[in-house]
Amino acid sequence: MSATHLSDNQRARSAIFKRLREIPVSPLPAPDVQAYFRAQPTVLVQSSANRIERFITQAKSWRTEIIEATPGTWQEYVAEVVQKKSLQRLLAGRGTSFSEGLNRALGNKLSWYDEDLSEIKPILFSETDAGITTVRSGVAETGSLIVWPTHNEPRSLSLVPPVHIAILYASDIVETLFEAVSTQNWASGMPTNALLISGPSRTSDIQRTLAYGAHGPKELVLILIRDDVANTQARA
């Protein structure tokens, strides 16, 4: 390639970049997210009972096993799950609103996630049958669980054991993820990662064979505590 031809290419390139730099740049306005969700057909304001039933239907469609309990019976249902599934060792976080109840219900089958991952790793990966976590909210629109990992309940607690037992108050179920983000003021502070869990871990190969538990728990059991006024009787 001649020097003249190369020089012509360089001049053309410089001219193009010059024109691009001369184009006035105006910042784009931030999208009105609230207006977008207000325009959606989803009914954001429903009765508590309808919202909870919708959540249950959606969650079951993702193969979440739901066990309904009351504030006075949830411990019995946790113990029943452990017995039916022959779970021998469970791991949970200290200092949650359910810690004392779990301790009473499970006794010596329960261990606490109170060490660094490097120290508890052998127990977590090789000896733990189920991890138990609290749930921040449930999303009725998708049947998903919103879980916020903390120091007491780290991400690995809901990820590594083959069974994840989650505990959720029915009154904490919202209609959409946007409702959770806005009404709970997520902007004021979030964990390193916020989890949106829809059923147990699943994956599929090129032949579309669905497998559970490849990248996380193969079972998700939700203890749904019906503390809503509309329902005082729990059903399994």
pLDDT in tens, 160-185: 999 999 999 999 999 999 999 989 99
Plot region of 199 (φ>0 → left; ψ -120 to 50 → alpha; else → beta): left
Of 94, 125, 131, 77, the C-alpha closest to 109 is 131
Per the structure block, which two tokens stand in for 203?
A: 């994956």
The span from the CA of 132 to the CA of 161, in Å, is 9
Q: Could you tell me the pTM of the whole model?
A: 0.81
Domain 48-225, CATH homologous superfamily name and number: NagB/RpiA/CoA transferase-like (3.40.50.10420)
Does 129 have pLDDT greater than 90? yes
Does 1 have pLDDT greater than 90? no
Angle among Cα 91, 69, 164 to the nearest 5 degrees reads: 30
Domain locations along the chain: 48-225
* pLDDT for position 175: 92
